[in-house]
Amino acid sequence: MLPILPAASLAASQEEMSADLRKQIEQIDQEILLLRAELAQSNGDIETLRRYLNQLEQMTLPDRFLVRVQALQEFIRDYRPSSPEQGEILESGFSLPQGDSTVVVLLPLTGDYAVAGEAILSGLKSRWPFHKDFIVVDSALYPTMFELWELVKLYSPEFVIGPLNKENALAWQQLNTGISTLYLNQLPAFNVNEKAIAPSKFDGLTRLTQFADNNALRHLLVLTSEKDNALQLQFQQAWLAQNPFAHYDVSTVDPGVDQGVKQGLGVSASYDRKAWLQRTLQTELEFEPRARQDLDGVITFLDMDEAVQVKPLLNFYHLFDVYHLWYPVSYPDKEAFQANLPFWQQTYAFLPPYIVESSREDADNFDSSQQVGLLYALGSLVAESVNNPLILQKDRYVQHSLIGELVNDSQGQLQLLPNVYWMDDNQSQAFSYGETAAE
């Protein structure tokens, strides 16, 4: 007859058994990973071997595995490719898929980004140009991009679209797959086989710089707020690099737009001079505040409700010929934009077309309040672009889209630039790519 164990002893025994079982399962997973690494070694797949080794080196391995891992490490250390074919994956140029190419799309279809992923996927399907469908993988199901890659490479893809999340995109880039990849997020740098299509306010500053330069604006006043100063700093760096002798002044509107304008135009200093004279002469003076006369343009990195006040203030101080350029730090929704149209005066606005076009009529599949329509438009644009050879050519206009004008810069990277709209008398007239107000 078996002895009857106290309840506490039984629980402890079960915990020990559970810990032993978890350890056994963990070691089985480690051995599978080790076997994959040894298989990659035998196949001469050095890049895959390195990735497996990197994972193994971060684990606590039993002694019996350490000798095998050390052998693989020594193989990597002593490895010298005898020819390019036997070396690591070589970077090839970015190439577009063909009609029969295997294309894999990496999108989050579950979790926090599921709505965004589904909207992009719908847009991709609506404009997909090839008879062969793409393969969709839910990137949210995989804790690391390495594990996702383990699945993706089984399809032997010739082209990859995604990932969407920037952190995942950076992790995917580190894998150096060698496959032509079109990211849905802008990254600090790209390999020769990579491009990206994604909205970016920082990329859009290219259009602002171009517009100011083409219209010979050399004396600039910039209005911004301390909490949203990143765009101003980026523009300042780019502008002064191109125009080292230009005059560039910054005024913050945190006390209020009128105070920021007064400070930037020198009107506050004019009031101070008048007060000093009155105290010195001890008499009341007739006075009209005087604004500085050297300005060519005023650029506002502000929200819409602040920016709409600027040009009336400039006109109040008789600066009728000074350009006003509005580059929003956040885009207004359709209803707010439409409600403010009658109040704009002589302002150039740098906006993605969807804001203006959706305010004119309700486009199908567009819901700007949730930005589902914006993401749908991104998916549609990506689908159109993978069959457009213009995206392979440097310094080229590619096409119009609801989320911006797609252009290829001088480095061969894709940018989505805002349109330039003339906001006056309830109008929103767009200037096409390369066109300026002077033209």
CATH number at residue 160: 3.40.50.2300
Tokens standing for 203? 């990329």
Q: Clarify whether residues 339 and 218 are in a common domain.
A: yes
Query: Do both 289 and 425 map to the same domain?
Result: yes
Q: Which of 224, 237, 239 is nearest to 301 (CA)?
A: 224
- What pLDDT does 76 receive? 77
Q: Which tens digits make up the pLDDT trace of 377-403?
A: 999 999 999 999 999 988 889 999 989
Same domain for 189 and 205?
no
Which of 84, 109, 133 is the endpoint of a domain? 84
Last residue of a domain, one of 84, 112, 138: 84
**Co-location of 218 and 330 in the same domain:** yes
Helix then strand then coil, % of the chain, to nearest 5:
45, 15, 35
Q: Are residues 276 and 423 in the same domain?
A: yes
Q: Are 134 and 92 in contact (CB under 8 A)?
A: no
DSSP assignment of 309-367:
THHHHHHHTT-TTSEEEE--SSPPPHHHHHHHGGG--SEEEEE-HHHHHHHHS--TT--
Q: Is 189 helix (H, G, I), strand (E, B) or coil?
A: coil
Split at pLDDT 50, 70, 90, the class of 427 is: low
Q: What torsion, rounded to 10 degrees, do the Cα atoms 18, 22, 27, 30 define?
A: 180
How many distinct structural domains can be found in the chain? Answer: 3
180: in domain: yes
Rounded to an integer, what distance in angstroms lies between the CA atom of residue 155 and that of residue 175?
A: 17
CA 193 to CA 216: how far, in whole Å?
38
Check whether 439 has a pLDDT greater than 60. no
Radius of gyration of the chain (CA): 30
**pLDDT tens-digit map of 119-160:** 999 999 999 999 999 999 999 999 999 999 999 999 999 999
Rounded Cα distance, 295 and 316, in Å: 15
| Within a domain: 361 | no
pLDDT band at residue 69, thresholds of 50, 70 and 90? confident
The H-or-E segment that residue 84 falls in is none
Asked whether residue 9 is domain-assigned, the answer is no
Q: Band of the pLDDT at 86, cuts 50, 70, 90?
A: very low
Q: Kindly report the backbone phi and psi dihedral angles of residue 435, in degrees, each rounded to the nearest multiple of 5, phi listed first.
A: -90, 145
d(CA 20, CA 28): 12
Structural domain contains residue 388: yes
Shared domain check, 65 and 93: no
Task: Examine residue 367 and state whether it is found in any structural domain, yes or no.
Answer: no
Model's pTM, two decimal places? 0.72
What integer pLDDT is reported at residue 87 of this predicted model? Answer: 34
Average of per-residue pLDDT across 331-351: 89
> Is residue 51 located within the same domain as residue 151?
no
> What percentage of residues in the chain have a pLDDT greater than 70?
80
Residues recorded for the chain = 439
Which of 46, 67, 84 finishes a domain?
Answer: 84
280: confidence class by pLDDT, cuts 50, 70, 90? low
338 and 427 belong to one structural domain: yes
* pLDDT, average across residues 399-423: 90
- Confirm whether 6 is domain-assigned: no
Position 2 in a domain:
no
Residue found by looking up tokens 């070396």 in the block: 87
Edge-first strand order for the sheet with 347-351 is 247-252, 219-224, 297-300, 323-326, 347-351, 419-423, 429-431
**Could you tell me if 279 and 423 lie in one domain?**
yes
What was the pLDDT predicted at 433?
A: 45
Q: What is the mean pLDDT of the chain?
A: 82
More confident residue, 18 or 372: 18
Across the strands, what pairs with 247? 219
Give the whole-angstrom CA distance, residue 413 versus residue 390.
12
Most confident of 47-51, 76-80, 188-192: 188-192
Q: Do 62 and 97 have their domain in common?
A: no
* Token reading at 270: 């004019």
Residue 384 sits in which domain range? 89-196+374-408
28-46 pLDDT, tens digit per residue, is 878 888 888 887 777 667 7
pLDDT at residue 154, as a whole number:
93
Does any domain span residue 438?
A: no
Give the count of beta carbons closer than 10 Å to the beta carbon of residue 352.
24
Instruction: Examine the domain organization and report whether 170 and 214 are in the same domain.
Output: no
Q: Does residue 280 sit in the same domain as residue 339?
A: yes
